[in-house]
Amino acid sequence: MDRDTIAAEVTRLAPPEAAALLAPLPDADVAAVLRSLNPAVADDVLLALGEERRRAVIAAAPPDDGRQWARNLTYPDDSVGRVMEPPHAVFLPGLTVAETVERIRELVKTTFVTYGFVVDEAGVLLGVVTMRDLLLAAPGDRLDAVMLREAFSLRPETPLLEAARLVVARHFPVYPVCDAAGRLVGNVRGRTLFEEQALEISAQPGAMVGVEKEERLSTPWPRSLRFRHPWLQLNLLTAFVAAAVVGAFQGTIDKLVVLAVFLPVLAGQSGNTGCQALAVTLRGLTLGELRHGSGPSSLSP
């Protein structure tokens, strides 16, 4: 299979199956495939490869990408830090527009450039330069004279759900990501943020019935069984508890057989009511109206 076909197949598979597919390939080829994927997918596959192979793949990748993958894996799952890409178009404020344009001409041969990020010697983000600003500025102008100061940025520790809420009204194609000291540690594409949220939302109906988000159509049945078995056992236990309650009133039911007619009605209505309550709760979690582990006081006004 060619690289594009392998990348498409990796995207379709769960991380363990994707890692197994990539296992026979040379480290450099694995790195090339991972570079073409959504950063979150690449991180998950790297984790599934195992520590020794993961280090080898990171070492075989271009330096910027390898460092970014290693840094991303230090942040919590479902955080902005796990979906960062390396910021290639990074410039010092003393560069002229002409010098910056020449550097961008070289960069675009190997990477897609949306914005230029202006940082000081310590790597602290000072501003952002758009292609329009470079086009309209004089060749001799310095970047610190044409850049947009106080640019909006995200923190790597921010949960993806919170980040999606912060950027939903901005519609920028790329967002810089800075640490607590303001140093530029990566950038994240708006498309990537919403792809991750779409994946989370698609997993929520399965969560209602005990299906893990890692399970795919291609997941082998033994692994699917491991995912589903605890939920099925719990469901079986509660079913026996319900049967025991009905059995406790067996004498009453024997005397008034008509009560048996209402048993399926009661079971259906209670199950439907529970599903409705769970659906509203999941919607509240998705929209940020309700937070994990918090009570009514956390509801948004």
In tens, the pLDDT along 226-285 reads 767 777 777 778 778 877 877 787 777 777 776 677 777 777 777 777 777 766 776 666
Last residue of a domain, one of 154, 171, 189: 189
Q: Kindly state whether residue 140 falls inside one of the protein's structural domains.
A: yes
Last residue of a domain, one of 30, 49, 74: 74
Calpha distance 43→179 (Å, rounded): 20
Do residues 100 and 63 share a domain? no
Q: Which tens digit of pLDDT belongs to each residue from 88-137? A: 999 999 999 999 999 999 999 888 889 999 999 999 999 999 999 999 99
Do residues 175 and 101 share a domain? yes
Best CA proximity match to 57, nearest among 41, 43, 46: 46
Q: Kindly state whether residue 207 falls inside one of the protein's structural domains.
A: no
pLDDT of residue 301: 38
Lowest mean pLDDT among 5-9, 135-139, 198-202, 293-297: 293-297
| Centroid of chain to Cα 66 | 19
Do residues 119 and 66 share a domain? no
Q: Kindly state whether residue 264 falls inside one of the protein's structural domains.
A: yes
Do residues 127 and 63 share a domain? no
Indicate whether 295 pLDDT > 50: no
Do residues 59 and 108 share a domain? no
Q: Which domain holds residue 269?
A: 249-301
Helix, strand, coil percent content, the chain, rounded in steps of 5: 60, 10, 30
- pTM for the predicted model, two decimal places: 0.66
pLDDT of residue 101: 94
Last residue of a domain, one of 74, 106, 131: 74
Judge whether 171 and 141 are in contact, CB under 8 Å: no
Do residues 112 and 182 share a domain? yes
Q: What is the DSSP string of 158-190?
A: SBHHHHHHHHTTT--SEEEEE-TT-BEEEEEEH
Q: Kindly state whether residue 210 falls inside one of the protein's structural domains.
A: no
Q: How many CB atoms lie within 10 A of CB 234?
A: 11
Calpha distance 96→231 (Å, rounded): 62
Indicate whether 147 pLDDT > 90: yes
β-pair type (90-91, 115-119): parallel
Average pLDDT over residues 46-70: 92
Q: Kindly state whether residue 97 falls inside one of the protein's structural domains.
A: yes
Q: Tell me the H-state helices in 14-83.
A: 15-22, 27-35, 39-49, 51-60, 63-72
pLDDT band at 298 (very low <50, low <70, confident <90, very high): very low
Q: What percent of the chain has pLDDT over 70?
A: 81
Q: Kindly state whether residue 230 falls inside one of the protein's structural domains.
A: no
Q: Kindly state whether residue 220 falls inside one of the protein's structural domains.
A: no
Lowest mean pLDDT among 31-35, 177-181, 283-287: 283-287
Calpha distance 264→43 (Å, rounded): 47
Do residues 53 and 124 share a domain? no
Burial of 52 (0-12, 13-18, 19+ CB in 10 A): exposed
Q: What are phi and psi of 269, to 5 degrees?
A: -70, -40
Judge whether 32 and 236 are in contact, CB under 8 Å: no
Q: Kindly state whether residue 46 falls inside one of the protein's structural domains.
A: yes
Indicate whether 288 pLDDT > 70: no
- For 40, the token pair is 């979150």
Do residues 136 and 49 share a domain? no
Do residues 114 and 139 share a domain? yes
End-to-end CA distance of the chain, in Å? Answer: 53
Q: How many CB atoms lie within 10 A of CB 168?
A: 12
pLDDT band at 66 (very low <50, low <70, confident <90, very high): very high
The enclosing domain of 170 has a CATH number of 3.10.580.10
Tally of structural domains, the chain: 3
